[in-house]
Each structure stands twice: as C-alpha cells, then as structure tokens.
Amino acid sequence: NINAPKVSFSYSSTATQNETRMGGLRFQNVGIPQGATVTSARIDFTPAASNNAPVTFSVKAEKVGDASIFTNASNLTSRLKTTAVSTWAAPDWTTENPPIPVEGPDVTTLVQEVVSLAGWCGNNGMAFYLEPTAGTGSRTAFSIDGAPGLQPTLTVKERLFPGILLL
C-alpha cells in the first residue's frame, strides 16, 4: 500500500544550518529476563523506498526498565538514552517484490545495558533512537501500522544460565 504509514530516517545539511532528525522505534513485550547475558542483538528493516546515497546513524536505546509508548506529545530527544551507542553505516536499500528485510544495526551492547537495569522485567517495552550523523541519504522502512509482517524486527540471542543459549 503506497499510502501506508512508514518509518523514515533522513539526514540533511546546508552551509548555513545543520539539521538532524531523530527516529524512534519501540518494541513491545520484549521477552528477555532481567540480568540475562545478551550474546547478539540486531534491528532489521524492510525497505519501503529505494535509496543508495550514503548515510550513517548513531543508535541508542532508551535507558529505562519499560519504555513508554510514543504519542504525538512525546519528546524523543528528552528521553534518557543508554551510555552504549552503536554506529550504523546503512547499506543501500532497494525495494523488492516480494519484500526482503535488510540487516540493520547491531544493538547488542544497547540491549545488554537495558536488561541489566534493576527496573527491567521480561516482556517490557524497549525503545531505540536512530539519529543521522553523516551522509546525504535517507532510509524509509515499513511500519507495523502500515504493513503488518513487514515492520522492523528486533532479534536477540541471550544466555540466561551458563551453557544454555536462548533464541
């Protein structure tokens, strides 16, 4: 659906003004137990538009035990962010038929910082923020509202007990 809601991350800069935009993603019911050891974590996207211009993003998570839902009144920039940060040089995005997900940023250290918080409990909400830091490109991905099944995904591998790997 061409008019479906999409998640869009862009970067633009001019000689007289620097302008950045922050995008946010919130995942509900993230089933990672408090204190688990995160062995890998990644966010993947399904492109809703093609773009091969370079763009690099700074990715952080919200540093709370249960990320609040986003509303029209939400101020994403004022939410407390993780100390951990991931830098993601986004690959070229091409729309495909059928749609094919694109590997996104590694967020292992961000997820670890959140699940190590005393206030974290399995099945809480977890939020991530992507802010462009370089390049001229943009990336537009499908959202759950516009294309259920094509929304961004958070994939986490963890160790709860020594020797046991949960997927």
pLDDT in tens, 84-139: 999 999 999 999 999 999 999 999 999 999 999 999 998 999 999 999 999 989 89
pLDDT at 4: 47
**Cα–Cα distance, 160 to 115 (Å, whole number):** 11
Say what percent of the chain tops pLDDT 70. 83
* Mean pLDDT, range 57-66, rounded to an integer: 97
* Mean pLDDT, range 39-51, rounded to an integer: 96
Amino acid (1-letter code) at residue 108:
T
pLDDT at 146: 76
CB atoms within 10 A of CB 59: 23
Supply the pTM of this predicted model.
Answer: 0.86
Average model confidence (pLDDT) across the chain = 87
Tokens standing for residue 13: 């800069």
- For residue 39, what are the CA distances in angstroms to 31, 106, 116, 151, 162? 15, 11, 13, 23, 12
pLDDT at 25: 94
**Cα–Cα distance, 78 to 50 (Å, whole number):** 31
Rounded to the nearest 5 degrees, what angle is found at the Cα of 111, between the Cα atoms of 108 and 116?
120
Judge whether residue 162 has pLDDT over 80.
no
